[in-house]
Structure 1
Amino acid sequence: MDNRIFFNPGDSIANINDYNEAVRKGQIFKKKKKEDELVIARGKGDEEYAIFYAKDALPSDHSSHPQGYEVTKRI
């Protein structure tokens, strides 16, 4: 499994500095929408963790040059 995923930064559900808080918020969102997998990721050089729906991932050859994120946890 590749740990690098591309997202449009505007698609994030939340941006949080504290990893544990990001996991808690992700679990809250997951309870609301059980069918959608969530990804907690961190952009290269970012100090924040972003929460995304996995279905919003973009292909690596996307023409708008989306920002790459390192996946830290899948929920």
Structure 2
Amino acid sequence: MAEDILFNPGDAIAQNYDYNAVMRSAEIFHYQQHPQQFVLVQAPEDACYAVFRIADAAHIKEQLAPLRRYQIVKRL
């Protein structure tokens, strides 16, 4: 069963249709920034991968920006 999470698409650290390119970007960002928790997600509508900080996850009550539902592929 897939785990869904909501994010504002503008908060993405990296976004691409290529899984390996997104993973590479996430690893570089993780190395340059202090270790934080990230998730690699996939948009079910268009199969695009993206990386977000877990701290940027949207809470349903705080819908100030347009949110998009993603499925978690991997926690980093």
Task: Report the TM-score range of the alignment, normalised by the length of the smaller protein.
Answer: 0.7 to 0.9
Aligned to 1:66: 67
Cα distance, 1:61 vs. partner? 4.2
TM-score (norm 2): 0.81
Aligned residues: 74
Q: Which runs of 5+ in 1 are unaligned?
A: none
Q: Secondary structure at the match of 1:36?
A: coil
Instruction: Give me the identity figure in percent.
Output: 32
**Residues 3-39 of structure 1, C-alpha deviations (whole Å, 9 max, x = no match):** 2110001111121111122112111111112331111
Q: Which runs of 5+ in 2 are unaligned?
A: none
Q: Which runs of 4+ in 1 moved over 4 A?
A: none
TM-score (norm 1): 0.82
Letter in 2 for 1:33: Q
